[in-house]
A and B are shown apart, each in its own frame.
Chain A
């Protein structure tokens, strides 16, 4: 019983429950007014902005995301390998640095082509 009470999923479910209760309280005590067209339109400062979905330019993210992934994995490797003796952390580190060098070379080639 105590194990269940002091587990992360239980705490997460209870906090989700608290947020849902607050949301429902808000739904009960907030006024329900008539929904006009202007009220439901997307926010704009005086311009006419029709509601439409936008494409996020993923290409500009790509390089950052790749670096992010490499560094995140290397950070966790660092975290996990502090008690390991032997060459394994160094080998993993070398693989990561190789991947970084390869990525930089590809990036420069792409830049030349563009």
Chain B
């Protein structure tokens, strides 16, 4: 018999732990690139691995091996710490999500709030990085990061509270388990699902909401001065954020790893995750960019009342 400690250690480091999450992040990046390429009538990654599936890994290591430049005016400590902090913070909440079982590796009452707190903390770290790099473009980008967060954070929180109220549990695992008894919350709370999807798109800074890094106006926004290994870590953290957004949608609204008859629940989880990533990439290929004032107005005038309406409907 293998001791329980070793099993747990393998779970944390291999499956569904760090190694697996790295693979998932790279895979989601590949899928995203390939899908958007298909939508835009291009080929997308082709050569590295079968159908270019190893291209994100190759890109990551290529970027890691590039020269790293710290601008002379930058705040060197904050500037170097921010990429590592952002990567670590976007990796951590994935352990709170039930992927291969009905309860996550780590779960406690209130971990939904911890996930929301960590996603806000990532935004604060991005703002600090933009501020520390002392560049006009990145300062504007950092301000936009902060403003956009002030817009989408409220509707996102309220929309995610909806499933918590219906299931009377503030833990992601508890919400998944309550959907095993009842029906999926996407059926009872379609408005909440739509609001959460839009707000997560804004959180990921993807195309309709890519104001903070609008490349045709402010070069690369808050990322302007990051290069080499720092840029590699930040890009990787974006992939983790994509996986996190998809799996949050899956576990809060689409029933997480719940399925009908296949042998293992994780199969269902990954099918649903792929659908969610497909929706997120699909929207990226369809829309043009909003202005920052349009984002804020839309979030406060339409998304917040809709999310509140959903809550009222749930309580009634």
Answer whether A and B are interacting partners.
yes
Chain A interface residues toward B at CB < 8 A: 1-2, 5-8, 11-12, 14-16, 18-20, 22-23, 25-27, 29-33, 35, 39-45, 49, 51-54, 56, 61, 64-65, 67-68, 71-72, 75-76, 78-79, 82-83
B57 within 8 A of partner (CB): no
Chain B residues 57-77 with CB under 8 Å of chain A are 64-73
Q: Which residue on chain A has the smallest CB distance to residue B156? A: A75
Q: Which residues of A contact B134 (CB under 8 A)?
A: 42, 51-54
State which of B28-36, B227-235, B241-249, B263-271 sits at the interface with chain A.
B227-235
Q: Which residues of B contact A49 (CB under 8 A)?
A: 135-136
* Chain A nearest Cβ from B91, distance in angstroms: 4
B225 within 8 A of partner (CB): yes
Q: Which residue on chain A has the smallest CB distance to residue B296? A: A64
Q: Which residue on chain B has the smallest CB distance to residue A29? A: B65
Q: What CA separation (Å) do A12 and B291 show in the bound complex?
A: 35
State which of B4-12, B39-47, B48-56 sits at the interface with chain A.
B4-12
> Please, what's the 1-or-0 string for B73-110, where 1 marks a CB less than 8 Å from any CB in chain A?
10000001001110111011001100000000110000
Query: Of A14, A30, A44, which contacts B229 at CB under 8 A?
Result: A30
Whether A43 pairs with B91 at a CB distance below 8 angstroms is: no
State which of B147-155, B176-184, B195-203, B208-216 sits at the interface with chain A.
B147-155
Q: What CA separation (Å) do A14 and B200 show in the bound complex?
A: 26
In the complex, besides A2-B4, A72-B157, 6 extra interface pairs with C-beta distance below 8 angstroms are A5-B12, A15-B92, A16-B84, A19-B233, A26-B65, A43-B219
Q: Which residues of B contact A26 (CB under 8 A)?
A: 64-65, 68, 228-229, 232
Q: Which residues of B contact A1 (CB under 8 A)?
A: 5
Q: Which residues of A contact B27 (CB under 8 A)?
A: none
B289 within 8 A of partner (CB): no
Whether A68 pairs with B154 at a CB distance below 8 angstroms is: yes
Q: Which residues of A contact B239 (CB under 8 A)?
A: none
Q: Which residues of A contact B158 (CB under 8 A)?
A: 71, 75, 78
* Chain B nearest Cβ from A5, distance in angstroms: 5
Question: A56 and B139 in contact (CB under 8 A), knowing A14-B18, A40-B72, A61-B146?
Answer: yes
Q: Which residues of A contact B296 (CB under 8 A)?
A: 64
Whether A52 pairs with B73 at a CB distance below 8 angstroms is: yes
Q: Which residues of B contact A78 (CB under 8 A)?
A: 158, 161, 165, 311
* Chain A nearest Cβ from B100, distance in angstroms: 14
Query: Of B12, B147, B168, B219, which contacts A64 at CB under 8 A?
Result: B147
Query: Of A18, A53, A82, A83, which contacts B18 at CB under 8 A?
Result: A18
Query: Of A2, A18, A64, A82, which contacts B150 at CB under 8 A?
Result: A64
Q: What CA separation (Å) do A22 and B233 show in the bound complex?
A: 8
